[in-house]
Amino acid sequence: MKDLQMWYNGEFLNADQAQVSLLEHGLHYGTGVFEGIRCYETDKGPAVFRLGDHLARMVEGAKTMEMSFDVHAMHSAVLELLSRNKMTSAYIRPLAYFGGGYLGLDVHPLNVNVAVATLPWKSHLGDAASMKGTTMSVSKVRRNPASAMPPLKLCGGYVNSILAKLSATRKGFDEALFVDDDGRVCEATGENVFYVKNGDVFAVEHPDALAGITRNSVIELAGAQAVPTYMETLLDADEVFVTGTSAEVVGVSAIDDHEFGVGPVTRELAAAYQDVVHGRDSRKERWLTYVA
């Protein structure tokens, strides 16, 4: 970590030099927006997957808080940072948040700080998850409704995911599944949900769920149909899997006491996704931004 560089407000700094004040607004109230992006090794060198789409979603999140920042500078910073850190694969974390000087709730007087970190990759559901699948428990904590917190990557919104994840891990599950009061499936704490029935692939659609970029990619790869889904339909599926930048495509082996196998369609899509992100699928080259 010590030798890694990070980008902060236009400067490249050693990770241990980058410091912030204890009075940053974002630290107290979660008034920030972030992205989770990945860079993968390909035959043509490292490539960032759907960089423009991730940064566009970040700008959308910033707009909800009337926050503006230079997204072109951030785009360049991501690529230069990967090259300075000599990383061929990485997790990329851009962040924009309101700075210090005032702790009131009117954000207009505040400056915006921007940062990018590139970190060595560690799978977030665990490497074993891709092989044996992940387990989920239906969360008693409800998802932030879109009417209260837009489903974008706003920092403070993630406390909701964390509360749900804590209760799932306390029960011995890997992940929490958000289901609404009407029994409709929403998403997991950091992944979107899909299911397979009689060979057809369906993407769970819910207004409170993040419009995942992996979800969008897998819908295109699988020719999946996006549908609102009740919990009973999900439990009746042949296969269930989740998608996310960090999780990629991972089978769900159990939802509470209902067990699924990690099935053939999930395995096929997980492999197809790996081909895309590693630049082995020429039809999806447009999703890759090469570092050099």
CB of 212 to ligand PMP, least distance (A): 3
CB of 54 to ligand PMP, least distance (A): 7
Q: Dihedral sign, CA of 39, 40, 45, 50?
A: negative
**Residues at the interface with ligand PMP (CB under 6 A):** 36, 161, 187, 190-192, 210, 212-215, 243-245
Q: If we measure between CA atoms, which residue out of 226, 234, 233 comes closest to residue 209?
A: 226
- C-beta closer to ligand PMP: residue 5 or 161: 161
Q: If we measure between CA atoms, which residue out of 177, 267, 176, 169 comes closest to residue 229?
A: 177
Q: If we measure between CA atoms, which residue out of 173, 192, 151 comes closest to residue 258?
A: 173
- C-beta closer to ligand PMP: residue 99 or 150: 150
Cα–Cα distances in Å, from 227 out to 175, 202, 203, 205? 22, 7, 6, 5
Q: Which two tokens stand for residue 136?
A: 């989920």
CA atoms of 223 and 242, how far apart (whole Å): 16
CB of 97 to ligand PMP, least distance (A): 17
CA atoms of 14 and 1, how far apart (whole Å): 9
CB of 145 to ligand PMP, least distance (A): 13
- C-beta closer to ligand PMP: residue 99 or 208: 208
- C-beta closer to ligand PMP: residue 115 or 164: 164
CB of 70 to ligand PMP, least distance (A): 22
- C-beta closer to ligand PMP: residue 5 or 31: 31
